[in-house]
Amino acid sequence: MTITTKEFATFLKKKGFIYPSSEIYGGVSGLYDYGHLGTLLKHNFEQQWRNFFLKLNDNFYEIETANIMHKNVFKASGHIDNFIDPIAHCSKCEFFERADHLIEDNTRERAEGLSPEELKGLITKNNITCPKCKSEIGEVSILNMMFPLQMGATTTNTSYLRPETAQSPYVNFKLQFELLRKKLPLGLALIGRAYRNEISPRNLTLRQREFTQAELQIFFNPNKIKEHPDFNTIKNTKLRTLLIEDRKKGKVVERTAQELIKAGLPKFYIYHLAKIQEFYFDVLKVPKEKFRFYQLNDSEKAFYNKYHFDLEIELNEHGFTEMGGLHYRTDHDLKGHQKISNQKMEVLDESTGEKIIPHVLELSFGVDRHLYALLDISYDQDQDRGNTLLHLPNKFAPFFCAVFPLVKNKPEITEKAKSIYKEINSCYSCYYDETASVGRRYARADEIGVPFCITVDFDSLEDNSVTIRNRDSTEQQRIKISDLKNKLFELYFS
Amino acid sequence: MTITTKEFATFLKKKGFIYPSSEIYGGVSGLYDYGHLGTLLKHNFEQQWRNFFLKLNDNFYEIETANIMHKNVFKASGHIDNFIDPIAHCSKCEFFERADHLIEDNTRERAEGLSPEELKGLITKNNITCPKCKSEIGEVSILNMMFPLQMGATTTNTSYLRPETAQSPYVNFKLQFELLRKKLPLGLALIGRAYRNEISPRNLTLRQREFTQAELQIFFNPNKIKEHPDFNTIKNTKLRTLLIEDRKKGKVVERTAQELIKAGLPKFYIYHLAKIQEFYFDVLKVPKEKFRFYQLNDSEKAFYNKYHFDLEIELNEHGFTEMGGLHYRTDHDLKGHQKISNQKMEVLDESTGEKIIPHVLELSFGVDRHLYALLDISYDQDQDRGNTLLHLPNKFAPFFCAVFPLVKNKPEITEKAKSIYKEINSCYSCYYDETASVGRRYARADEIGVPFCITVDFDSLEDNSVTIRNRDSTEQQRIKISDLKNKLFELYFS
């Protein structure tokens, strides 16, 4: 089912999932709010992400940290010098746009990572003019994408809103290592906000100025990168990869983990590719053909990333879109922090007796992008039913179930329905609805992706049974009220 | 058990609960990070808060919104004009301090809410000098406490980090009302960050520049403020209040809800006081004598708050300390937004047919302050055991239980312990520990507040039973492994 991003935005707002922030004031470009349903969906995503990634290893932990950080953090990470966007500026109408995006929109070629001179060259070569007033584009200039903040009453004490959550685990690493088990690999997960002064935020929550990241930073001994104790459990897993060499054909190739070793990737990296794919297939339930690992080439990836695959989902209108990445950041960050802070980042790997600065493998997920993707791939306009349908997985649906009395003017029925609702609501996200016809209520439940609707009818008063309706098949099953909780438990994990 | 804030800070860092943010760079004043244990505690608080307050009414919902907001939001709310701090400035050593705090520290009198002239007068009258260099304090000046941000490539497009989460539900109100049931009262809860450029942040997480608030904004028909459908359920509840009239005696008076009506408070307000107290006593398990409602007088409370009680907990060193408040904000915010945005905030109260701008009752909780308080009142140095102990409530403890093999060199025992750990860990937060003596492990568990430790010993191999040790009583109970899950379930709710 293909709809435009604009139609999709209307749907998301109408249902209260996602809509522009500060909207009564015309909004602020690149900022979005989650309504009631969007918030439940976001919580479910975050919880499922934690459940999956924190359980990969007993030595993985979550931390939560301030969004504002010391300026030296970003001196060390390179953000003050390198976290810049090339800006194309129309001197006539004061229109601003990212120069690489302007080129990509006009030529359909990737232009990320090019220098201001190269970008200006491409603008001239392709005769690209201002999209607003068609005037000539001036020089390409540079803007740092971080938001500076003045702390206290002086104007010299600058801090920054973090542009990526990753730096928080890096500056916390040494302390956490000492406080926890002093063991490698150590994983520090963080779900939190990051802020980027994007010049041209767009496509709803796909490119925002404020967004939530769920990231796991794994600190490990680089001499062990060619091994992982559980590699054998995934060695035959087929991974959907688009390597640099596959680009010409533009086709995803399924390669086993074993085969990726031959392609030059180390086992420690491949193992986490496999686990990530498992998350997409088994937890997020993304259809296989809509997922791929996209390998970045040297000009696309950050210079400190030795291996970098984007995690991509195919979206309506947008095609395959970056959702996150698996980044082997080496010792770039810890070394940087050691240098600027004068704090030793070296630790002892007890298992080998080596003293090393750990390397970092970063598993990075854009939460807002995943929510967009989940809604996008779940969206379905069912012709037979005549209503929209969200095929959200059971563990992600804002409401797992709903309880309806067949009619609302029969107190025995509504009371029974309410007591069932109360009982179920203590275990599952659930709502009670008695307004309008039951058909209309099913349709409304479909539209917000409720997997199961439970209806109490006249027969329920006699046989103490209810009907459970399946969102996707519309099949209805009769079940004893006394068996309901067990049945829902079973369905939840189906 | 009394310890100094400094000693407490050392303990919190050593255990990885809370420590200064960006610490390897010397920290940033007023910013703190939560380590692994602090993060688990914070999640537990947020979940328990949701469970309690969202369930007060079927028409209460949670939303999650951008931290950056449009400047007009704060024009409407009054923050641009009024959210200011009086700054005392030493012209000799460049020391800055909040003028009211400087006076309070020197005179032990409240000075909040006074004008710059009044503050300067008090500084002169009391001969207060610079705390650093003892020079004379100059004029008292004014600083807006919001953090401005420039959006995009221009310097004229200012937005702000929100200084309170409350404005997000206010600007979302009309849309959410239309999307949801169009019913009053409507509750919009939000747990999120707020940012204030405090001049002198202090006392760890008690006064930070970035902090988490958990707030419930209840939009209701002001003509119904003298009623609440469930008032009778709480009418005899004794509320621990310190009214303005009680100040001279400085003693908390227990008054029933009924009696507070006579003191001039409306039922709708009193009902929520009672529910809040229930949260402190039944959920947070705060000892009764350590909690009070503190009524603010006209010069202390914001001019738009018609009724305002602080929620206070008595802390070591700090005495009774503000944790949050119950604020009757009237229609101040919605009217302000209506005026500046030109969007009608009026809605139809279907139950009476009236068209009204709803009034707002705000239940406001500082999350970081509550975590500090929970740790502070749980902290205990047990002389008999010779170790520190945290008496955290079961539902808040970062780990509800731990599993130990009595010895680690007996594979039958460690394997049994690991399999029990795996089983329990799927339901409860739990860890496995086999290092050091079992006595040492009990002590470590005490220090991080683990309510129950489960030990697998030699007898376990024969009788398929384990020992459960109670943190507070140190009592040990023998229990069948097959009954363990049921037993833990029962203990969790005890």
DSSP assignment of A100-156, as one string? HHHHHHHH-S--TT--HHHHHHHHHHTT-B-TTT-PBEEEEEEEE-S-EEE-TT-SS
Q: How confident is the model at residue B1 (pLDDT cuts 50, 70, 90)?
A: low
Q: Does A68 reach chain B within 8 Å, measured CB to CB? A: yes
Question: Span B414-418, mean pLDDT?
Answer: 97
Q: What pLDDT score does B302 carry?
A: 87
- Closest by alpha carbon to B46, among B36, B54, B57? B54
Q: Do A153 and B180 touch (CB under 8 A)?
A: no
Q: Is residue A48 part of a domain?
A: yes
Across the interface, which of A23, A31, A150 has its CB nearest the CB of B175?
A23
List beta partners, residue B363: B216, B326
B91, pLDDT greater than 80: no
Tell me, yes or no, whether B316 lies in a domain: yes
For residue B255, give both structure tokens: 């008054």
Over range B318-343, report the average pLDDT: 97
Residues A48 and A93 placed together within one structural domain of the fold: no
Cα A482–chain centre separation: 39
Q: Which of A44, A46, A60, A68 to mutate to test the interface with B (most CBs of B within 10 A)?
A: A68
CATH number at residue A440: 3.40.50.800
d(CA B344, CA A65): 39
Domain assignment present for residue A183? The answer is yes
Same domain flag for B323 and B351: yes
Q: How close, in Å, is residue A369 to chain B by CA atoms? A: 15
Q: Is residue B300 in a domain?
A: yes
Q: Which residues contact A113 (CB under 8 A, 6 or more apart)?
A: A100, A299, A300
| B174 neighbourhood in chain A, CB within 8 Å | 24
Q: Residues B361, B327: contact at Cβ < 8 Å?
A: yes
Return residues 339-358 of B near A (CB < 8 Å).
340-341, 343
* Strand (E) or helix (H) holding B423: helix B411-425
For B82, left (φ over 0), alpha (ψ -120 to 50), or beta? alpha
d(CA B208, CA A158): 17
Considering only CA atoms, give the Rg of chain A.
Answer: 26
Q: A137 and A67 in one domain?
A: no
Distance of CA A94 to the CA centre of its chain: 34
On whether both B360 and B284 belong to a single domain, the answer is: yes
Residues spanned by the domain of B136: 84-144
Q: Taking CB atoms and an 8 Å limit, are B39 and A66 in contact across chains?
A: no
Instruction: Say if B384 falls within a structural domain.
Output: no
- Same domain, yes or no: B137 and B156: no
Q: Which residues contact A128 (CB under 8 A, 6 or more apart)?
A: A102, A103, A106, A122, A137
| Stronger pLDDT, B138 or A286, i.e. the higher one | A286
Output the domain CATH number for residue B112: 3.30.40.230
Tens-digit pLDDT profile for chain A (494 aa)? 578 999 999 999 999 999 999 999 999 999 999 999 999 999 999 999 999 999 999 999 999 999 999 999 999 999 999 999 899 988 788 788 889 989 988 998 888 878 889 999 999 999 999 988 998 888 898 899 999 999 988 778 899 999 999 999 999 999 999 999 899 999 999 999 999 999 888 889 999 999 999 999 999 999 999 999 999 999 999 999 999 999 999 899 999 999 999 999 999 999 999 999 999 999 999 999 999 999 999 988 888 899 999 999 999 999 999 999 999 999 999 999 999 999 999 999 999 999 999 999 999 999 999 999 999 999 999 888 889 999 999 999 999 999 999 999 999 999 999 999 999 988 899 999 999 999 999 999 999 999 999 999 999 999 999 999 999 999 999 999 999 999 999 999 98
List the helix and strand counts (H, then E) for chain A.
16, 26
- CATH, residue A311: 3.30.930.10
CA A273 to chain centroid: 16
**Distance (Å, rounded) from C-alpha B182 to C-alpha B10?**
51
Asked which of A348, A378, A408 is the last residue of a domain, the reply is: A378
Q: Is residue B370, in this structure, part of any structural domain at all? A: yes
Residue range B74-80: average pLDDT? 96
CA A472/CA A67 separation, integer angstroms? 41
From chain A, pick out residues whose CB is under 8 angstroms from the CB of B94. Answer: 154
Cα separation of A373 and A5, whole Å?
A: 12
- The total of structural domains in chain B comes to 3
Cβ burial A162-200 (10 Å sphere, 16+ → b, else e): bbbbbbbbbbbbbbbbebbeeebbbbbbbbbbbbbbbbb
Residues A323 and A413 in one domain: no
Give the pLDDT band (50/70/90) at residue B32: very high
Domain assignment present for A393? no
3-class SS letters over B61-75: EECECCCEEEHHHHH
Residues of A in contact with B209 (CB under 8 A): 68, 151
Are the Cβ atoms of B180 and A19 closer than 8 angstroms?
no
Amino acid at B204: L
Both B155 and B269 in a single domain? yes
Asked whether the CA dihedral B433, B12, A67, B40 is positive or negative, the reply is positive
Q: Does A153 touch chain B (CB under 8 A)?
A: yes
Q: Which of A144, A161, A178 is the last residue of a domain?
A: A144
* A301 part of contact set with chain B, CB < 8 Å: no
Please write the tens of the pLDDT for every residue from B437-447. 999 999 999 99
Considering the domain architecture, whether residues A207 and A264 belong to the same structural domain is answered as yes
Shared-domain flag, residues A153 and A140: no
pLDDT for A1? 54
- In a domain, residue A391? The reply is no
Q: Check: CB of residue A312 under 8 Å from CB of residue A294.
A: yes
Say if strands B401-405 and B430-432 run parallel, antiparallel, or are unpaired. parallel
Give me the phi and psi of B16, to 5 degrees please: 75, 25
Residues of B whose CB is below 8 A from A16: 175-176, 179-180
What residues of A are in contact with residue B340 (Cβ under 8 Å)? 25
Tokens read off for A105: 């929109």
- Whether residue B205 sits in one domain with residue B109: no
As a whole number of angstroms, the distance between CA B37 and CA B445 comes to 12
Looking at the fold, whether B267 and B345 belong to one and the same domain comes out as yes
Judged by phi (left if over 0) then psi (alpha if -120 to 50, else beta), residue A56 lies in: alpha
SS3 state at A394: coil
Residues A160 and A68 in one domain: yes
Interface touch B193/A193, C-beta < 8 Å: yes
Question: A278: part of which helix (H) or strand (E)?
Answer: helix A267-278
Provide the whole-model pTM. Answer: 0.95
Nearest to A85 by CA among A114, A105, A122: A114
Strand-pairing partners, residue B216, are B189, B363
The Cα A419–Cα A232 span in angstroms is 50
Q: How far apart are CA B119 and CA B128, in angstroms?
A: 11
Structure confidence at residue B427 (pLDDT): 87
- Helix, strand or coil for residue B21? coil
Last residue of a domain, one of A378, A407, A434: A378
